């Protein structure tokens, strides 16, 4: 029974690893295809009037060289005169990314909601409530987005973008007030990813099928399907940099553990949108340096605003009475035993952990002293640990850790 209790979290850890790897691979394929086709769409040039290409209905083409070969992609205004025998569909990249992402969300967060999603200092909710909030966010988010796309607002690209960005920021604000910071960020990313795959599944691919069906029946396809698909494809393109940041955000507690984490996320997402816009314009031949400058300025402003206060220099710490130092360390060790060792041990007792996070163990004096700086950074400066404050470390206990470290960690 004891072996089974150990092997279950270990098996989940391997499942987490493999699904995460799959998610990264499929995500690269999907976003790579998105970047390529937006680049292609913005880079093609119209053929000369009256040329053979223009007569065939080609709206644009370009020549490219890659991997030792020459390529000549062409885009038709609506469709070619005849349906080709082989037609490649770009859909499984999107589906696989979303499915692996949801699987990863389930394994890493939903199966261990108590540790990964709930921070009782934020909201005292149950695991079922936390999972319900997460899933509900994805369903409601896609529904609202899709309805707005189909509304008159959807015809005005700029204002539509402003409204959608504001709604995503509102979702981030709400989530950071009911879930742990890390879980809130991940669910904003899952919301954006769900909107992106919803665009592919519910509109882009069905529209393309209708065009192919019309050609198979000998009819001219309705261009409105291509126009709608293009609109959603552009939306997905602007979502890419924000969602990529969120995918890696769990490594940077300085963002999701901040008091105004929702605003930090909003500014970083906005920076990603400005930077993406620069590249989209550049592909059309317009170089607008103001956009990356704005993006970098936003990132710099965030970096300055959330910077932790400088720690006291350990080397310059005043001499401490040996008895007082021993007493101080004993207090800190008691705190670490109560709040940290359930995870940071050779055999963690906390459910969902097969090994100590980051390989850091804090079971004895030597291990604690060896990791003093990391303990200070994670528990005092960033307040990232304990994870989701699962063991309820108090501000007074964090202050004790800070006093110990700043006194020389003796």
Task: For residue range 14-67, list pLDDT tens digits in order.
Answer: 888 899 999 999 999 999 998 998 899 888 889 988 888 888 888 899 999 998
The rounded distance, in Å, linking the Cα atoms of 333 and 339 is: 10
Beta-carbon contacts of 297 under 8 Å, excluding residues fewer than 6 positions away, are none
pTM of the model: 0.81
* Of residues 170, 184, 117, 171, the one with CA closest to residue 139: 171
Task: For residue range 124-177, list pLDDT tens digits in order.
Answer: 999 999 999 999 999 999 999 999 999 999 999 999 999 999 999 999 999 999
Task: For residue range 288-319, list pLDDT tens digits in order.
Answer: 999 999 999 999 999 999 987 665 444 444 55
The rounded distance, in Å, linking the Cα atoms of 357 and 374 is: 12
CB 388 within 8 A of CB 119: yes
> Where residue 121 falls among pLDDT bands split at 50, 70, 90?
confident
Q: φ and ψ at 66, to 5 degrees?
A: -160, 135
Distance of CA 361 to CAs 3, 141, 265, 374, 378, Å? 21, 40, 31, 12, 14
Mean pLDDT of the chain: 87
The rounded distance, in Å, linking the Cα atoms of 253 and 263 is: 14
| Model pLDDT, residue 313 | 47
**In terms of C-beta density within 10 A (0-12 exposed, 13-18 middle, 19 or more buried), how is residue 30 classed?**
buried
Task: For residue range 355-397, list pLDDT tens digits in order.
Answer: 777 778 888 888 888 888 888 888 887 777 887 677 788 888 8
Q: What is the DSSP letter of 357?
A: G
Other CB atoms within 10 Å distance of the CB of residue 239 = 24
Two tokens, residue 184 = 């809130």
Alpha-carbon dihedral sign for residues 385, 391, 392, 395: negative
């Amino acid at each position: 029974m004891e072996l089974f209790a150990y092997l279950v979290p270990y098996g989940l850890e391997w499942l987490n690893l493999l699904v995460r790897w799959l998610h990264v691979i499929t995500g690269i394929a999907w976003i790579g295809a998105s970047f390529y086709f937006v680049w292609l769409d913005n880079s093609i040039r119209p053929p000369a009037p009256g040329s053979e290409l223009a007569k065939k209905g080609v709206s644009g083409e370009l020549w490219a060289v890659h991997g030792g070969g020459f390529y000549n992609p062409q885009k038709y205004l609506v469709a070619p005169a005849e349906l080709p025998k082989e037609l490649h569909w770009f859909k499984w990249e999107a589906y696989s990314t979303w499915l692996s992402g949801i699987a990863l969300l389930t394994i890493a967060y939903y199966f261990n909601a108590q540790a990964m999603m709930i921070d009782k200092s934020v909201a005292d909710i149950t695991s079922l409530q936390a999972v319900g909030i997460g899933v509900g966010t994805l369903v409601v988010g896609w529904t609202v987005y899709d309805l707005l796309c189909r509304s008159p607002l959807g015809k005005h690209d700029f204002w539509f973008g402003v409204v959608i960005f504001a709604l995503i920021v509102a979702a981030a604000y709400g989530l950071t007030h009911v879930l742990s910071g890390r879980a809130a960020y991940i669910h904003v990313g899952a919301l954006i990813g769900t909107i992106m795959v919803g665009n592919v599944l519910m509109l882009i691919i069905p529209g393309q099928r209708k065009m192919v069906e019309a050609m198979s029946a000998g009819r001219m396809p309705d261009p409105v399907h291509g126009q709608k698909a293009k609109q959603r494809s552009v939306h997905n393109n602007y979502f890419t940099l924000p969602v990529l940041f969120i995918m890696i955000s769990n490594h940077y507690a300085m963002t999701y553990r901040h008091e105004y984490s929702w605003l930090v996320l909003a500014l970083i997402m906005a920076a990603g949108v400005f930077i993406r816009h620069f590249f989209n314009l550049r592909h059309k031949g317009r170089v607008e340096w103001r956009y990356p400058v704005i993006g970098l300025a936003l990132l710099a402003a965030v970096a300055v605003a959330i910077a932790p206060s400088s720690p006291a220099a350990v080397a310059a710490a005043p001499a401490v009475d040996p008895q007082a130092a021993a007493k101080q360390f004993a207090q800190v060790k008691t705190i670490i035993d109560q709040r940290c060792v359930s995870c940071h041990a050779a055999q963690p007792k906390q459910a969902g952990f097969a090994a100590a996070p980051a390989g850091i163990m804090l079971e004895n004096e030597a291990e604690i002293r060896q990791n003093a700086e990391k303990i200070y950074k994670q528990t005092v400066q960033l307040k990232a640990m304990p994870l989701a404050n699962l063991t309820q470390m108090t501000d007074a206990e964090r202050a004790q850790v800070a006093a110990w470290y700043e006194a020389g960690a003796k």
